[in-house]
Structure 1
């Protein structure tokens, strides 16, 4: 047994995937049925229920703070899983929270604080409505953060009529998809004030998308407070306005991160430990600002399992949950 035990230890050292499951942090954004989903942000309620059952059956679910504490202590189970949600969509409250509570599985919500209580959709949803949902053509020249962009397309082309399978990181199939991709990149990388200006220009020129639909708005302050009181969700930081942090100067990074933490703590009524980088975008300055703002750990969007030997406390990887049943989730976990 001594030689066999030594061999097993060597196998676990050099081929950890052969020794069973590995700890994983799952990343969700929405639990909703959507007509199309260009950034693959949603898991349907039925699929979410099936995934929770798969987690209960095969994994040890932990809240993220406990997951990180046990990771640091070297006591994290190999089958541990923690669930996280980004942004603060109201369907996290209506569709995700009751299912999580029924399953007895905790989660963490990384909250974009300036979105709380706003009538407008998140800017990426509003941009999709203004361009991808538009039935008329458009011919518009605009500048976003000193970068010129021309938005030009005619009436919908055949692929525009069924966009369920298209993802925005894939090649554009139509001129309006190409316009949406180009504007999305420019607006994502613009400073918050320039992003707001660009969206105002687009609303005026294209007729406006109107208030967020009831199923896609951000939560209100009272809804966030109630969620925090009930305890199924812990609240984490996700900046004030969801910028791509490496595009900002260090001082602006610190304001977004620190002010977001203060606002999240005011809503949660307790200290906020964890942070998630918007779009997963980070640089050394942003990581330093997260630590100096008092966060104990932070999550990226690098889609791998967590390594117990070589983990970075301020860049923990997360695997995006697929929109599929428990089997699809099991395959995603195994691939990580």
Structure 2
């Protein structure tokens, strides 16, 4: 019900021509935008990333609407010193997917758009327990999927059933990140190699070194194992951050100043993790909490982002998100994102 009302408000604002007026009222000074995969064929990947069409639309819309695409460093600096009315967009990509280079980079070059890629150690080293890739592969390749830990079997011969089943299991994981370990027996029973999926989807060390030399690119940290840090004791959480930063700096031979919390919601990170990110030596840390930046008072170690992609994302919803209308709609309807 609330989602339907939110969608109605978004469409009304868009088609009535009131979007610019709403943007003046609700949009912040800056938005950090979060992507993961940029997919050439989103249907074959069960609509889990951002389509090429939506990605390019997003960059074009930002340019047309006067948002300047800048690096994270430039954004923080300008919010701290610039009292003008300019608006800034920062582009970020989580996990270090190959399509960030093969598909997204030519588009980013065309727009001369700086960007940051947050990389967990396990991705280029091929040791990452990327459970989300494992689940997607199971739903892609099978018409019946059994998740033992949930005691559930999904009959999913059609695309919308695969997408729905994958979404249900993913939501179950996000309710309690300790459940991730419970998927291992299911993957083993299915004969699924997460290492092979690492090889298929993530940049390797050579590709990452090459990307780091690109004038538009910055590489940030994303922990060693993509762990939900709040589930770890303080020494282990610190090691996840510090070891990842050390690995990337040694591999790339350049400083790694920025960090993204895996999962990034209130279940995965909080004040303790923000303190650790600062103590380890990062200059900023981003979450997945929905929001924009308004001024220099923002906590640099708990920066909000606006995600783009997924099953239900559209150009209209992107416009509403960046313009602040979606946040306003949620506030008016008494819901939280």
TM-score by length of 2: 0.76
How far does the alpha carbon of each residue in 1:27-82 deviate from its partner, in whole angstroms, 9 at most, with x for none?
111110322667x6511112212221112222111111111222233557541111
Contact kept in structure 1, 2:136 and 2:166, CA below 8 Å: no
- The correspondence of residues 165-314 of structure 1 with structure 2, limited to 5 A, is 166=164, 172=168, 177=169, 181-182=171-172, 185=175, 188-189=177-178, 195=181, 198-208=182-192, 211-212=196-197, 217-280=201-264, 281-308=268-295, 310-314=297-301
Q: Equivalent residue of 2:33, what SS? A: strand
Q: Equivalent residue of 2:219, what SS? A: strand
Distance 1:164 1:48, change over 3 A: farther
Contact kept in structure 1, 2:128 and 2:225, CA below 8 Å: no
Bigger share in helix: 2
Distance 1:60 1:136, change over 3 A: closer
Q: What's the C-alpha RMSD, in Å, of the aligned pairs?
A: 3.1
Aligned-partner Cα distance in 2 for 1:122–1:79: 35
Q: Equivalent residue of 1:212, what SS? A: helix
- The correspondence of residues 54-73 of structure 1 with structure 2, limited to 5 A, is 54-58=61-65, 59-73=67-81
Distance 1:266 1:129, change over 3 A: same
Aligned-partner Cα distance in 2 for 1:268–1:308: 32
Question: Max radius of gyration: which structure?
Answer: 1
Distance 1:268 1:231, change over 3 A: farther
Which residue is 2:151 aligned to?
151
TM-score by length of 1: 0.77
Aligned-partner Cα distance in 2 for 1:138–1:325: 31
Which residue is 1:124 aligned to?
132
Q: Equivalent residue of 1:202, what SS? A: helix
* Structure 1: runs of 5+ lacking an equivalent: 1-14, 141-148
Q: CA deviation at 1:185?
A: 5.0
Distance 1:238 1:20, change over 3 A: closer
Q: CA deviation at 1:134?
A: 2.6
Contact kept in structure 1, 2:62 and 2:68, CA below 8 Å: yes
Count of aligned pairs between the two proteins = 296
Q: Equivalent residue of 2:43, what SS? A: coil
How far does the alpha carbon of each residue in 1:102-134 deviate from its partner, in whole angstroms, 9 at most, with x for none?
110110011112111428782211123235643
Distance 1:56 1:267, change over 3 A: farther
